[in-house]
Structure 1
């Protein structure tokens, strides 16, 4: 009697690990974890209204899934499936799949950034998933470039995904800009003018598609969307108070010229109420917070320019203090490293028929995540370093799909770098995309390693 034998390929094993990872993640976390931000945006999407500064498109997406199956279980499943499917498709970009892919992917499936974060209903996770998927689609377009129909299908998917990414995270356009540069390189075929046309065209396509998506998602009769001007003023206030806190000799002369009493109050209280950890600390002092907001925008603009142009050293000190908290995270416990359970004001949860939740399984997940807090797994600089190394390897091999995947790595690093200018809080989720880009790059590299002693064939 002939014995039965079964051969399992490395590619099948790799995808089996991803499928198992998805099932374990869903089983451990559904129907998902919701903070106040999550519930507020679900509330907007469910009732078709605008009450927060959260992205209208993200609220609309939550509302669509909630309209099919109430709650967030379906949304979490679809969002995670997009990410895991993107990873699974990476094996189609290479001529072979090494067994190393399954070995590298298995532990990645178990770190909190994948096992838990994929079930947290945050725009940061939605941005990361769509940005990763968009650049992976660009890699597929590069791989099949001579096949016109398939190329345009992948490019259309990349535009749609990156358009969503650019609208659910304020600085998400960085991923689209890097993707556009990668597209130009891939399409140039050695002709840089041709590449520039493709790059500009791709970026315009993402930008315009994103605007259409957002305009279509805003409920009729909603108040005007918050402008960039409002966000800029928050950053300005944070920087100016920080400048006085770090150097009490710095004078707010431009502001004092139009609002002397309010400026004097800000100067007196800055030291006690500013921390690079988060802008919210300034809100605790209601008189100071009210005082700085009473100062006219024009005066704040002039003062901010004075800080940047005439006191660049002090400005960089302030910005570094803010950035080191979000990027290097000196004390991870202060920066909301993970969120588990469901919690929000009852007036938001009751109409949605959602209950507060922190059950035994949530407690176990929370405890599990703490095992990683004081390790490089919860440090964004660790992932940025990985991305820079991978970028060098991918650009050394420099096959079409490698260019797009190098773009993904640089997008993650560039996104993190943008927080040097705009950071106002150190919540770990803000740079989640940086982590996810590096993890996707590691898996891609493991599928067919771009080792310096050989160039893999396409």
Structure 2
């Protein structure tokens, strides 16, 4: 029988695929059948019953409900997350290698072993699912840049629309990749780019409400978390009451001072004890029946008190991105065990789990656990990679990381590290692409590019001394 020689390119692709499978198997072995969180328990319950509201992404609940009809429990969602995550990474790595940059391709694949990402992809989280969809879209963008057919752009844009249904602020991450996938003529001039950006933003922002309506999700009042948190922040920093008068609280400024925390909104929720008289429950029982619309009321308060609003938001953002250290030093960066649940799903402790968790916790307490540093690194990659051969991938990834990370300056009510998974991944991938050709970048440009990251390191360290 004639021996068939395998082409070196095929062997390299196979090797990359095997490494990706190893990465997926590593997380699966540690977290099987998938780590349930309080959020995912509610999503699974609603997916099984079909009684879905919009507190968590209805798309997740709908998809999980369909998968549970085949295999119950978290396992199918874990497999889906890992398939998207590692599939996207290996697709991107293979395309970059085939473009003549094998060492960069392997470096991109190695980025998948970021400890935070290994831990978070083992938990059933919308953040992990979104990151996986964005990674596949990025890989398809690489296919398109190498002359692949228009099908790659179509599939990638569908995935970006799917990602946009998973978080109400996901459009910030999806927009730069969407624009990069559209025909070049649509962004050839600045006016065309601006118009394309406006239309793409509108489409991405519409994805979630349209999907929710198609699924038939009931409104839950989830928007009140942002509204009440910001009203509390304006009241705290401005010194005057901006809450609706229908709440009927005798001394709202004093009461709010007791309720308000700059890091998260939970003190206003209906699951704390004691319940805040200015919070979620009081709004639903006293304010909503009076016909007060949350967003218009919020906007009037922001416009009337811009300085207090800015102080509140900047303080929260500094904590959220870890420029300032967390006040609650015992809060874990990732979850390691499932809460008690009706179905008995849990992760069995094992050595791989302990190793990944230990690495994640350790790295989270270093600058690698500061989202603000990753935002600064993405900015550096954008400056260093602009106009270069790799710009077709670097620019969309870097801008996606920056927009999504900075979007939490406005769209944030909590400080969990999982919110920044995509920011860290996109910034790391963009940095790796730039690092592959750093010798050809002028030294002055490199210094200018990464000066913000150096400043962040100094300032963040100073706050911790």
Superposition TM-score tier, normalisation by shorter sequence: 0.7 to 0.9
Distance 1:177 1:367, change over 3 A: closer
- Secondary structure at the counterpart of residue 102 of structure 2: coil
Partner residue of 1:98? 102
Offset from partner CA, 1:57-87 (integer Å, 9 cap, x none): 1112222332322222232123212221222
Gaps of 5+ in 2: 1-6, 444-465
Answering whether residue 138 of structure 2 is matched by residue 143 of structure 1, we say no
Distance 1:255 1:29, change over 3 A: closer
The structural deviation recorded for 1:11 is: 6.5
Distance 1:410 1:450, change over 3 A: farther
Answering whether residue 386 of structure 2 is matched by residue 381 of structure 1, we say no
Offset from partner CA, 1:423-447 (integer Å, 9 cap, x none): 1111111222111212332444456
Q: Distance in 1 between matches of 2:107 and 2:296?
A: 56
5 Å-filtered alignment, 1:291-310, equals 291=282, 293=284, 294-295=286-287, 296=290, 298=292, 304-305=298-299, 307-310=301-304
User: Which stretch has the larger CA shift, 361-370 or 81-90?
Assistant: 361-370
Distance 1:250 1:265, change over 3 A: closer
Offset from partner CA, 1:201-250 (integer Å, 9 cap, x none): 7667766776665555x2xxx56344xxx344332221222233334x32
Contact 1:255–1:300 (CA<8 Å) still a contact in 2? no
Select the residue among 240, 249, 256 that pairs with 1:250.
240
Select the residue among 396, 407, 413 that pairs with 2:387.
396
Partner residue of 2:122? 119
Select the residue among 341, 357, 361 that pairs with 1:366.
357
Partner residue of 1:268? 254
- Secondary structure at the counterpart of residue 421 of structure 1: coil
Higher relative contact order at CA 8 Å, sep ≥6: structure 1 or structure 2?
A: 1
Distance 1:60 1:208, change over 3 A: same
Partner residue of 1:68? 70
Partner residue of 2:137? 134
Partner residue of 1:162? 160
Q: Distance in 1 between matches of 2:439 and 2:25?
A: 30
Contact 1:160–1:206 (CA<8 Å) still a contact in 2? no
Contact 1:29–1:119 (CA<8 Å) still a contact in 2? yes
Contact 2:107–2:432 (CA<8 Å) still a contact in 1? no
Gaps of 5+ in 1: 1-5, 145-149
Q: Distance in 1 between matches of 2:258 and 2:209?
A: 41
Q: Distance in 2 between matches of 1:213 and 1:291?
A: 30
Contact 2:161–2:204 (CA<8 Å) still a contact in 1? yes
Q: Distance in 1 between matches of 2:192 and 2:303?
A: 38
Partner residue of 1:330? 325
5 Å-filtered alignment, 1:435-446, equals 435-445=424-434
Contact 1:101–1:446 (CA<8 Å) still a contact in 2? no
Distance 1:421 1:198, change over 3 A: closer
The structural deviation recorded for 1:37 is: 1.0
TM-score, scaled to structure 1 = 0.79
Q: Distance in 2 between matches of 1:206 and 1:63?
A: 24
Offset from partner CA, 1:16-64 (integer Å, 9 cap, x none): 5434322322222221111121122122223333156111111122223
Contact 2:141–2:152 (CA<8 Å) still a contact in 1? yes
Partner residue of 1:425? 414
Distance 1:44 1:88, change over 3 A: same
TM-score, scaled to structure 2 = 0.78
Distance 1:183 1:423, change over 3 A: same
Partner residue of 2:180? 182
Distance 1:317 1:208, change over 3 A: closer
Q: Distance in 2 between matches of 1:32 and 1:413?
A: 30
